[in-house]
Amino acid sequence: MKKEAQGKRVAVDRAILELEQFLPYRLSVLSNTASRAIADLYERRYGLSIAEWRTMAVLGSYDGIAAREVAERTAMDKVAVSRALARLIADGRVRRRTAEHDKRQSVLGLTAKGWKVYAEVAPLALEHEKRLLAHLTVEERRWLAHILDRLWQAELEEIAR
Amino acid sequence: MKKEAQGKRVAVDRAILELEQFLPYRLSVLSNTASRAIADLYERRYGLSIAEWRTMAVLGSYDGIAAREVAERTAMDKVAVSRALARLIADGRVRRRTAEHDKRQSVLGLTAKGWKVYAEVAPLALEHEKRLLAHLTVEERRWLAHILDRLWQAELEEIAR
DNA sequence: TTAATCTAGTTTCAATTGAAACTAATTGCA
DNA sequence: TGCAATTAGTTTCAATTGAAACTAGATTAA
């Protein structure tokens, strides 16, 4: 490490870690910008938070699941799910029944109104994803998907331990 | 899409988007787990939040910069930086002078105490990063670095527009 | 010059989040 | 059985965050 012109903004000798090169930092910044743009859009247009959108998305794929499974499938904790559901139900986008076989559990699903929102938001989200990926070549995209799978898997194993 | 056994957990016809495959979601989950483990560690051991650690990290690399530049280099907003600095200074880990050429600006740097913390935390952070990357082959690691660069660059261009 | 604009950084107040405690129902097991 | 432990989900309260307003200094341009 050596001085730049002016002797200002010196990269210091003792430094061992460059934040800009640090993987967790890079992932965090990337993740934030990837989510922010689209999140702002459906927040403004539909009053949906990320937590609410994720909840709707999994209910779009898995009708009739309980809150616990929403939490698993959205990687959110049960408190966040509870709050997201409270708002979605208040807005009439999600319906909740009590499971007959276990009265603690709920049976959740999108209402007609919820499906209407879903049918508008999902394409926006997918388009946004496409725009992000458009910056990569086909090969890079394949590698990215592969690497995410690998890391995902590694995490699961880590948690399982 | 078709029914699974039991007629439960049905993947619904109208579903357009699988959250688990959605890039912003995958990045978010990955980023969270990548940061969480290490963040918990230096929170417990040194009482450092992520914002504080990032601030210390850039001050370790760039001595004498102002809060504005900390914000740029950590991808945090100025309020977050102001608060992180307030705590770091209160803890005696960062020193702040006023810039002579512009009395609005501060001139920031790690104190001896700050350097001591840095010298302990940085290796921990790097080791953690190594453990994450250990799940990938050399080739995968190279591609990951490359892809992150590409997306990073794309973002910068996006913002510049 | 000096008034208007801009920039660095802080403060305030409301909204969001996180952790712990809680309620209600279910399960495991002596 | 029935009582202790577990699970689903909610509530509460404190801590964190975000947005806007604010202070103080610097810059611009008439």
What is the architecture of the domain spanning A17-160?
Answer: Orthogonal Bundle (1.10)
Residue in chain A nearest B75 by alpha carbon: A29
Per residue in B65-114, pLDDT (tens digit) is 999 999 999 999 999 999 999 999 999 999 999 999 999 999 999 999 99
Task: Report the distance separating Cα A35 and Cα B27, nearest Å.
Answer: 9
Contact A31 B30 (CB under 8 A): yes
B interface mutation test: which of A2, A20, A25, A40 has the most B CBs within 10 A? A25
Å between CA of A79 and C1' of D13 = 14
Query: Please, which residues bridge with residue B97 across strands?
Result: B107
Nearest protein residue, CA measured to C1' of D19: B79
> How many CB atoms are closer than 10 A to CB A46?
18
Kindly compute the dihedral angle of the four CA atoms of residues A61, A65, A70, A71, in this order, to the nearest 10 degrees.
-150
Task: Report the distance separating Cα B10 and Cα B161, nearest Å.
Answer: 43
pLDDT at B152: 86
- The answer to whether A140 and B147 are in contact (CB under 8 A) is yes
Interface confidence, given as ipTM, is: 0.90
In the 41-100 segment of chain A, residues within 7 Å (Cβ) of strand C are: 49, 51, 77, 79-80, 83
Per residue in A75-125, pLDDT (tens digit) is 999 999 999 999 999 999 999 999 999 999 999 999 999 999 999 999 999
- The answer to whether A34 and A52 are in contact (CB under 8 A) is no
Contacts of B73 (CB under 8 A, 6+ apart): A19, A20, B58, B62, B65
CA B19 to chain centre: 24
Residue type, B109: G
